[in-house]
Each structure stands twice: as C-alpha cells, then as structure tokens.
Amino acid sequence: MKNLKSLLALLFAIALLAAACGSDDDAASDDASADDAAEASDDSSDDDAASDDEADEGDDDAMADDEGEADVDLSQGGDLTFHMITHSEDGPFWSVVKKGMDAACEDVDVSCVWMPGNNDPTQMVTDIQTAIGEGSSGIAASLPSPDQLIPELQKAVAEGIPVYTLNSGANDYGTIGATTHVGQSEDVAGEGAGLRFNDLGATKVLCGRQEQSNVGLEERCNGLKATFDGEVVDEFVGLDADQTEQINGVKAILEADPDIDGFLGVGPVIAMSGLQAATDLGRDLHIGGFDMTPELLDAIEAGDIAFTVDQQQYLQGYLPIILMYLEVTNQNQAGGGLPILTGPGFVTPDNAAAVKELSAAGTR
C-alpha cells in the first residue's frame, strides 16, 4: 500500500516534469505518462486510505524534481535518460556492453545511466526501483534471475516506461510486456557450436562448465547436445578462480574417457584450460570456446583452438539504447514480438586477426 502511494507521488512528479519540458519529442512520453497516471489513480481511488499527508509529500517531491532537472535543461537539449540495469561483474564482457551503450548514447545525444548489479538480484531490484523513481525514459535490463526481477519491470511497464531486456531474458520479455529482447539466446549459441564440431569431425565432446547451477552455461551445453551428432559429456570442472584445479579437472575426465576428441569450454578462461590440459596430456582435441580474451584470440590465430562463439555483446549495449530512443521519439517498436539476436558470431583462425584489433579497441 505504502509503495503504491509513493509510486503515485512519483508519477505526479513525472507527469509534472514531462509537462514542464517543452521540446517536441516529449509529447509522446507526456501522453504515456499522463495515461498511466490516470490509470494509477484509478487504482488508488479504490483504496480509501489516501491521506492528505501523502498528497503533500507527492507535491514536495514533484517540486524538488522540477528544480533538479532545471539545471540539466540549461546545459543540454538531450533530456532523455535511459537506464541500463545489468548483472554485470565488470568483466571483459560487460565492459564491451558498456562501451556499446556509451557509443549509442553519444550517437543519439541522450544521457544514460549504467547500473551494474554485480550478480546480486536484490541490488538489481533496487536499481530498477531507483530508475523508475528517477523518472527513467526507458529501461534496459538483463534478467539473470527472472522471478525477482519480472514484477519490478512489470511495474515499469505499467507506468509507461519502455522496457527492453538484454543479454539474458529471452524467455521472459513477453511476460514482462517488454518491447523486445536484445541478446543471444544461449541455446542457439550452443547449437551453433554443435554444428561447428560436426564440421570439425569430432565424435565425442566434453562440455566443460566453470560454474555450477548457472542456467546460461547449462543452456550452452544443452544447445550443443541438440545439434551435435556425436555424444556430449556435460560436466562442471572447476572455478575460474583456481585455474590449476580447472586444468587438472579437465585432464582427469580426458584420462578417464579416452574417446573424447572435442572440448567446448563455455567461457574464455575454461577454453584455455582445456587447451592446456590437452597439451599436458599430449592429446589432439578439437577445442571451442565462448567469448573472448586476448589469449584465446592468440590461440585461435595460432590454430590451437578451432573457434570461439562470440555473442557480439557490443550490440547488446548499443541496440537497446537506439531502440528505446526510437520508441520514445518515433513510436517505433522493433522486433515484431520476437527477440533480436546479436549472435552467435564465430571467431575462427580466418578472422581472428581482424577481431583481435577490434577487441583491442574494446568494441568486440
């Protein structure tokens, strides 16, 4: 109840804010916000607990926000603020996503807020609430733990904020009411890897995981199972934090099963561990990896590793901003209800050198 009231107060604030700004492209958001505000107040009128105090508070908030935004208006015309809420742990992967986001925001001249959640769903819930509270013009969120995040994002949709999911969330964007999903579906990426192993002529592939109970990693292995013609052994072999143990874990399985002639590491570090294990044992394996590090690209260029699956995460940062911008300013809705896939792209010995340069620039 209390939440609803403070939301209502915030809605007034947003509506006022939107009304206060006079540029053309605001008409759309103004309408949307107004509609939503009307809806929301319909809801709340059923509840007879709305007190005067609350209403006063709402007014105060609105005024405070108004004053705050005035500064921004003076400095720049770009009055749209998009929020990107991810479960980023600041790895090499997410830094590229962030670069994509920064580039898009610069290209269309809007302000963007990067909210990395550090794999903590509670943090992400707070971030989403903050974004709604700040009157976001659009929210792009990744969905590592759908159950906690879906209700929050539904609230955003209910308030007329354009919502997009990125990276993970391909199965849930419909439930939320998000316009579309931008990302790679993990099983499709795994399926691509399976086809690669078929081409390479492998007969039995070990799908090595560096984490347990990570849905995305399991889906990669499941995708591999779906398209690969031979047999797949799917195992957790040790954490990235202790690579010695990881290498020897792969070695133990390779030793226990002499038929294995392929290795898919579902991350860049574990792919290198697989290469090291094969070298130690003197086994000739077809090795594939996921994502990229300089070492992995070097190994691909040298021909030691056959390929890596690249989900082109730059697009996952770039596209949602552009799509949100177009939805807000031009009422475009891309995707047609289907997700927009950013991958899988493959890095093989053929294109490794070119990708390496782009990767050094931080956009691959």
CA separation for the pair 55, 65 (Å, rounded): 15
Tell me if the bond preceding 344 is cis, omega within 30° of 0.
Answer: yes
Residues 22-81 that bind another protein (CB under 8 A): none
Number of residues counted as binding another protein (CB under 8 A):
37
Interacting residues with another protein between 260 and 279 (CB under 8 A): 269, 272, 276
Query: From residue 224 to residue 243, what is the string marking binding to another protein with x (rule CB under 8 A)?
Result: -----------xxxxxxxxx
Q: Does residue number 259 form part of the binding site for another protein (CB under 8 A)?
A: no
Over the window 84 to 103, marking each residue x when it contacts another protein by CB under 8 A and - when it does not, the resulting string is: ------xxx--x--------
Enter the tokens of residue 102. Answer: 């920064």
d(CA 15, CA 32): 9
> What is the Cα–Cα distance from 131 to 139, expressed in whole angstroms?
8
User: How far is 41 from 132, CA to CA, in rounded Å?
Assistant: 17
Q: Is 357 in the site for another protein (CB under 8 A)?
A: no
Residue 248 lies near another protein (rule: CB under 8 A): yes
| Closest CB 141 distance from another protein, rounded Å | 23
Q: Which is nearer to another protein, 29 or 246 (CB)?
A: 246
Q: Which of 83, 251, 286, 364 binds another protein (CB under 8 A)?
A: 251
Looking at the Cβ atoms of 159 and 234, the one nearer to another protein is 234
Rounded Cα distance between 31 and 24, Å, is 12
Residue 282 binds another protein (CB under 8 A) = yes
Q: Is residue 6 classed exposed, middle or buried when 0-12, 13-18 and 19+ CB atoms within 10 A define those classes?
A: middle
Cα–Cα–Cα angle for 312, 315, 316, nearest 5°?
95
CB of 37 to another protein, least distance (A): 42
Q: Which two tokens stand for residue 196?
A: 């690669």
CA end-to-end distance (rounded Å), the chain: 46
Secondary structure of residue 35 in the 3-state scheme: helix
The least distance separating another protein from the CB of residue 205, rounded to whole angstroms, comes to: 16
Give the interface with another protein as residue ranges (CB under 8 A): 90-92, 95, 212, 235-245, 247-249, 251-253, 255-257, 269, 272, 276, 280-283, 293-295, 298, 362
